[in-house]
Amino acid sequence: MSSGCIASGSVPSAIVVRGALLADLDRRDGTHLSNSDLPSSGEAVRDAADFRRKRRMNRRAEAEANRQKNDSDRGAGGMRPAQQGDPVQQQADDKPKPRPGPGVPQRIFLDEAAARFDGALTQDIGFTERLVWFWSNHFCVSADKGLVRSIAGAFEREAIRPHVLGRFADMLLAVESHPAMLYYLDNAKSIGPDSMAGVRRHKGLNENLARETMELHTLGVRTGYTQADVTNFAKVITGWTVVPPRFEKGGEFVFNPRMHEPGAQTVIGKAYGAAGVAQGRAVLADLARNPATAKHIATKLARHFVADEPPQALVDRLAKTFIDTDGDLKRVSRALIEAPESWNVTRAKLKKPSEWIVAALRATNAEPRNTRPLIFAQASLGEPLWRPPAPKGFEDDNAAWFDGLPQRLDISNLMARRMMGDADPMDTLESALGPLASADTRQAVRRAESKQQALALLVMAPEFQRR
């Protein structure tokens, strides 16, 4: 395992690194962002909906004004005012309209992205921030899905960050009941067929959230549950929905009993009595404690931080810690750091694009004033922020990122020119790589034709690309 940090820093001994990572786990504010003025998910949904409503009204008003103008032109014998010899009006009509700035949903997205990048760039160690990123990808939502765009950042702040060093069961409940997840996997519109709303409206069940909760978030694939279990669990969480944006509490989670499938349900051999919203909470609590969940989470953590094919002893150690501590994620993370298997592997894991970009900025003490180039760079390298290709999230093995390595050269040159100008290349090499830097890398950086070229070569070095 590497230092576990988002950034490359100095390369001290493994004992010192372990101590730093453990200390990072004990920081009280390690997972919290300093930006306190970001809107809650409910506020963001309401603001975005209000923006869309006003935009529709403006477009209708503009269309009506154009219609009236055309009617007036036709009433004047088909002659437009400019055609009647008004050059000033003609110039006004020909002048291009100024491009509008980003709308409310995009502004919220950019503010959230800025807070995320700022948090990653300012962390002393960064291990807990890497945990945030890991869990955000594990429980991913996509900003490409409707109202999710305005609350993808709030989802990470509200459902992931507070629980990264807490209990997995608490994070699971926070995630599955968050508006972003309910929108993304369509549970907000899932209606029990025999519920009051289902009988009246002849609409029914959506199984997306139930299936992905079991297959991706907890148990993993092929772990003994059946299609009937998915269907029954989907019935259990009917009524888990979101208040429509036009209401006072718009964009917030609500349990709607009129949409909830009545009666008891059996999930993985256990009967859950009719108890409204508590029925779903009970199923989630049991899924969180299932041994298959412990193995699934342990495998993903070990793959992310250690190796594409992690040592089985490490997976077993993490799974046992997960079970013995009732899903205490801080204890599991501590076990990951302390396990000898985490350190006795070849340093072969490629940094994901997001990790590599932040590592390069941190290594050179860069302070980008604009978040947009970072968002663009991350997207161009195949990992668009909060926009995974599927509910599974972005892949966590090397094969997924090898093809994008040539594109990193263009990004490294861009960052070197615009963001890393004050960094000394050789000093940066020593602090970022130290003894890891090969003779070839040292020579390439030393012989570069300019400071910018040297920095670009440094962050493109094989040693810098790996963690």
- Amino acid present at 394: F
Q: Minimal CA–CA distance to 7: which of 436, 465, 431, 359?
A: 359
* Cα 193 to Cα 190: distance, rounded to the nearest angstrom: 9
pLDDT score of 10: 45
pLDDT of residue 110: 96
DSSP 261: P
The answer to whether the CB of 160 falls within 8 A of the CB of 176 is: no
Question: What is the pLDDT, as a whole number, of residue 372?
Answer: 95
- Tens-place pLDDT, residues 451-463: 999 999 999 999 9
Q: What is the pTM of this model?
A: 0.91
Residue 33: the pLDDT is 80
Enumerate residue ranges in the chain where pLDDT < 70.
1-13, 30, 35-36, 76-101
pLDDT in tens, 361-399: 999 999 888 999 999 999 999 999 999 999 999 999 999
The pLDDT, as a whole number, for residue 16 is: 82
Q: How many CB atoms lie within 10 A of CB 286?
A: 16
Q: Hey, what are 378's tokens? A: 């991350």
pLDDT tens digits, one per residue of 155-199: 999 999 999 999 999 999 999 999 999 999 999 999 999 999 999
* Dihedral (CA of 213, 217, 221, 223) sign: negative
